[in-house]
Structures are given as structure tokens and as C-alpha cells.
Amino acid sequence: MQHWFYSTMTLQQDSIKTTVHVCSLTARLPAQTQSPAVSSGGRRSSECIIRAVVTSGITFFLSMMAATLCGKLLPKQGWLPVTQSVRHGSKAVTRHRKPIHILKQKLLAVTKYVPPTPVVPKGAYPSERQEVKEESGFVLLLKRELKKLFQDYKMVAVAQNCNSNAEDMRILKHRLHRHGIAVKFFPNQVMCSFLSDSVYSNMAPLFIGPTVLFVSKEPKVKEMLTSLRSSPQMTLLGACIDNTLLSAQGVVSYSKLPSVSVVQGELVSGLAMMTAHTASMLQRHPAHLSALLQQYVKQQSSEEAPKAEEAT
């Protein structure tokens, strides 16, 4: 018959498990029934102490443990497991964060989430896709106005106005209106977006800063320049006259050009000069004409004579 002996039992408050140290297992042989008084007394007293200490749950568990171990065949006689764990601590669901076993901590550290690193850091290069912003109705309206403007008006001049107050503006507008030149204001953003789509894309660099448009149906450049000379705030940047882009100097030289009618007149007169000259000569006195012809013949003969001399 075998008895379990439990000499000490320690309850560690910090640990989850309670370790029960089993010190000795003695196999009580029939020869040893009359054991010395001291040892039997010691045994009995220890049993009493332990019975007092052990709670109902633990005794139940220990008896179960005893039953299983006694039921199983022990590997060899006198063999006892050194420590046996009894779980009675916190449950799976606690209010506090439960301490994690070191091996599980290592597992969690190894299997952490690793985000993908971008090859190119954000913001290093500008995005390939251009954000297409939907234009509001007002912007579309302005663009339609601009389209009509470029169709109707032959001259579209761009100037920059710095610090012109209302009075100056009013006077300038009055002066220009007398020559049929209108003053228009358009936002630069709308202007640039319109120009980028249209034929006049090269005009886009002109529209920086506070700009004003001078438009007229007939290219009245001279009058415009005279009006602008009077107002020092306005600086002419460029113009688009008859679908030709001109810089400021180009506009000035354009203004110096004679008008179309004058040029046409000159051309016609140049072409008709010979015939007109002949006609005028014929209308003079015939004596004059005969004298001229005689002079011409003399010249011709004088030319032929040296040529014949040279030939011979």
C-alpha cells in the first residue's frame, strides 16, 4: 500500500499556479507497520495541518490527481513528479491585460505587421495624373465670352495696370471709347485655361499679374498708344492683331505702318507709273516729243558707234 506524503505546500501569491511540493512517497510495507513513534506522530500532525489549510476545491483536485496518478502505473517505484501546477488564478477574460508568456511575446514580436515601403518616398515626384477640376458654370460662361471676344474683335491688347484708381480708369475708358476700343477684365486663371485649349496658346505668358484687355473691332493701335501714354499706370505687354501675336515693340512698329488704303494706293500708283508717265508725255506739245525722240536717236547712234569700234 502506498501513501502520499505532503510535507510542505507553498502558496505563491504572485504566480498563477500553485506549486505543491511533494517531498516523499513512502511505500508502506507490512513489515513497517510498527514505525517509530516520532515519525508516525510527525506524519499525523502534518496531515492534520494540511487538512486544516487545504480548501475544498484543492482537496478535491488533489484527490483527483491522486486518483489518476495512483490509477496509472508509475514508471518506477519511489518516483514522484517534483512540481504539479494547479490553476486557480485569473480567467481567460479579465479586466486587466493579462501577462503574456515570454514565448508568446516572442511569437507576437516575430509576426508583427510590416507595411510595404514605397520605392519612391511620397512627394518626391509630382503625380502623373493631373487632377481634373470640374469648372463651375460661371467659369464656363466666362470662357464662352472669351471665345466670342476673340472671334469678334480683331485687336486684343494686353496691358498691366498698377494702382490705377477709379477716376483714372474712367478717364481712360472714356478716351478709348471715343475710338471704339473697349476695356475688358477677365481672371487670369480662366484666361490661361481658355488660351491653353485655343489657337492663341502663346499668349498665355502675358497674363501674369493684374491685367486688362483692350479690345476693338478695327485695329486702332495709334489711338490706343496715345491714350495709354497719358496714363502712366498702364504698361502694354503685347497684342494679338489680326491673329498675329505682337510684342510691345511690335505694336509700336505696327502703329508706324501706313494704313492699308495708303499702301494699296502706293502699289497701284507704282504699277501704273509707267503708263501714267507715257500718257502725260503724250499730252504735251508734239515739238517737245519730237525733240525728245531726236535726242534719243542721237544717243542710240553714239552708243552704236563705240560698240562697232570695239567690235572691230
Partner 1 sequence: MAATLYTAWAVGGLTGVCRVNGHQQGPLHCHLKVLVAGLQTYEIPPDYSDVVLPAKPKLKFVNKVPNLKKPKREPKKLRDIQGPTRGADSFTQGQYGIVALGGGYLHWGHIEMMRLTINRKMDARTMFARWCISGPYKPITRKGLGQRMGGGKGAIDHYVTPVRYGRLIVEVGGKVELEEVKHILTEVAKKLPFPAQVVSRESLAALKKKHADMEQNNQNPWTFKQIVQGNMLGIRRVVSPFDVHHCGRFSGKFHFPGRV
11 binds partner 1 per the rule CB under 8 A = no
Residue 71 to residues 61, 66, 231: CA-CA distances in angstroms? 15, 8, 117
* Closer residue to partner 1 (CB): 115 or 270: 115
Residue 187 CB, nearest approach to partner 1 (Å): 5
Contact 22, 81 (CB under 8 A): yes
* Closer residue to partner 1 (CB): 43 or 179: 179
170 binds partner 1 per the rule CB under 8 A = yes
Q: Which residues contact 175 (CB under 8 A, 6 or more apart)?
A: 227, 230
Rounded Cα gap, residues 12 and 144, in angstroms = 88
The residue count for binding partner 1 (CB under 8 A) is 46
Q: Considering only the stretches 66-74, 176-184, 248-256, 293-301, report the one whose residues sit in contact with partner 1 under the rule CB under 8 A.
A: 176-184
Cell numbers linked to 4: 502520499
- Helices 273-283, 260-271: axis angle to 10 degrees equals 60
**One-letter amino acid identity for 129?**
R
Q: Which of 1, 93, 120, 282 binds partner 1 (CB under 8 A)?
A: 93
* Closer residue to partner 1 (CB): 116 or 126: 116
Residue 101 CB, nearest approach to partner 1 (Å): 4
289 binds partner 1 per the rule CB under 8 A = no
Q: Which of 174, 217, 284, 307 binds partner 1 (CB under 8 A)?
A: 174
Rounded Cα gap, residues 131 and 145, in angstroms = 25
Contact 150, 190 (CB under 8 A): no
Contact 240, 200 (CB under 8 A): yes
- Name beta bridge partners: 235: 160
Q: Which of 114, 120, 287, 297 binds partner 1 (CB under 8 A)?
A: 114
Q: Which of 159, 190, 203, 241 binds partner 1 (CB under 8 A)?
A: 190
Residue 53 CB, nearest approach to partner 1 (Å): 15
Q: Considering only the stretches 11-19, 42-50, 95-103, 261-269, report the one whose residues sit in contact with partner 1 under the rule CB under 8 A.
A: 95-103
94 binds partner 1 per the rule CB under 8 A = yes
